[in-house]
Amino acid sequence: MSRVKIIAVTGCPTGIAHTFMAAAALKKAAEKMPEDIEIKVETHGQAGIENALTEADIKEAAGVIIAADKDVNADRFHGKPVVDVPVAKALRGAEALIQQVLTNEAPIYKSKNGNTSQQEGTADRSSKTGNTIGRSIYKSLMNGVSHMLPFVVGGGVLIALSFLFGIYSADPEHETYNAFAAFLNDLGGLSFSLMVPILAAFIAESIGKRSGMVVGFIGGLLAVETGAGFLGGIIAGFAAGYLIVLLQVLLKKLPKSLDGLKMIFLFPVLGIFLIGAIMFPLMTPIASINEGMMTFLSSVQTSSPLLLGLIVGAMCAFDMGGPVNKAAYVTGTLLLSQGNLYFMAGVSAACIAPPLITAFAVLFYRKYFNKEERNAGMVNFILGSTHITEGAIPFAAKNPIVVLPILMLGSSIAAIMTYYFGVQVPAPHGGFLVLPVVTGALKWVFSILTGSIIAGIIFGLYRKKIAGGKPIEG
């Protein structure tokens, strides 16, 4: 039997865990298949593209698996059989994805311009790849979020570090003023100020490529200037992307010799003018909606910490790095950028808890887990402590109907207690590494450990029950 070559691309919004776990799952599944399969996986993580696919790889491949929640330049696979799914599907069913390629069930991917060198073209998102409009919108949004996160994390941690010198140490009028603290605060604030423009730029880039990115960035700046904030940035990003698509259609009949003029002059000039004309009238009502939403969330935070903690905890543990989790996390970063340090404290607690739940379950009920799970459980003490929620996914994937509610319970307990204690977390990531800048650090750790241990015991008892009380060998 001749060897079958398959290529794959994985990418998640944060580019930290899902990306590489999906790649590992595909490689492991390929080894288990009875067919002789050679697989090469390109990863789109925060460090950039690794193990990049070459033109020769693409040409030789029998098919392509795209397991990504962000733009991974699918246009280069024009004419190839492509299975295009969310990154989580590679974790749950890698063998099924490979089987689709082997049985010729994968549809032929068609880019809009019918070629593989589309630097400025857009893919036919609704063609035979099976993509829905909703999935296309989600991938574009997550492309923006993935590029925005480093600015949020970097800026947030620098601002948090400035608080080590005192809460008002960056204020020249205050007696605790420190020049270095002010420098850290200003630098972090500058990074934070780019959050919405970067989000809008890369939403638009996913739709309209490089020209879309330029117009989206300007749209994002308009959102910041007019107070429309995060919501305005999202709207500006999609508007900019589809404006470029519209301009590409309208200017399609221009001679090929004018392609350079279109990219350098016509698209930027017309795009920036049109995004301004569209967004300026919309920004005032969007700003009002944005302000109302932030006020509502802040009021719920103080009036009903039980309800808010329950919602945030359930969202963060529901899909652990997926769209529901990201909705809670992005809301937290948005409020953080506006000076609300309480909301993110609950979000962070709820994100830290799931890996710790599995870790405590393995620690307390070690004999009811196999060797691979025991090793993963111990590693999850590190992953959870550093805010990498995805470490719990392998445990949840085996029986999500039972395990996810347990994880959601533990995360909710952690978030509820965090809100009741009034903990403030000024950094959007880092887990226990940012404890020196957390207001109420011991209460925060106590909240997280309480939720994690309670749910960990429940999870361990569940594993004991399904094992019939007998230790698992190996």
Q: Are residues 372 and 436 in the same domain?
A: yes
Q: Which residues contact 382 (CB under 8 A, 6 or more apart)?
A: none
Cross-sheet strand order for the sheet of 48-50: 48-50, 37-45, 4-11, 63-68, 82-85
- Which stretches within 194-266 are classed as H helix? 195-225, 229-250, 259-261
When pLDDT is averaged across residues 52-77 and rounded to a whole number, the result is: 88
Q: Are residues 272 and 323 in the same domain?
A: no
**Spatial separation of the C-alpha atoms in residues 412 and 317, rounded to whole Å:** 9
Using 50, 70 and 90 to split pLDDT, how confident is the model at 22? confident
When pLDDT is averaged across residues 186-215 and rounded to a whole number, the result is: 89
Q: Are residues 73 and 138 in the same domain?
A: no
For residue 62, what are its two tokens? 């029998």
User: Is residue 114 assigned to a domain?
Assistant: no
When pLDDT is averaged across residues 422-428 and rounded to a whole number, the result is: 83
For the beta carbon of residue 211, count every other beta carbon within 10 angstroms.
27
For residue 44, what are its two tokens? 């789109």
pLDDT at 128: 41
Q: Given 4, 6, 8, 12, which residue is catalytic?
A: 12
Q: Are residues 161 and 275 in the same domain?
A: yes
Is there a catalytic annotation at residue 316?
Answer: no
Largest Cα–Cα distance in the chain? 78
Q: Are residues 26 and 94 in the same domain?
A: yes
State how many domains the chain has. Answer: 3
pLDDT digits (tens, 9 = 90+) for 86-112: 887 887 788 889 888 888 888 888 775
Q: Are residues 458 and 424 in the same domain?
A: yes
pLDDT at 132: 66
Q: What CATH number should be reported for the domain holding residue 79?
A: 3.40.50.2300
Q: Are residues 280 and 314 in the same domain?
A: no
The answer to whether the Cα torsion of 366, 372, 378, 381 is positive or negative is negative
**Spatial separation of the C-alpha atoms in residues 347 and 74, rounded to whole Å:** 33
Instruction: Give the domain range for residue 247.
Output: 133-286
DSSP state of 390: G
Q: Are residues 225 and 280 in the same domain?
A: yes
pLDDT at position 244 over 60: yes
pLDDT digits (tens, 9 = 90+) for 139-169: 888 888 778 878 877 787 787 788 778 767 8
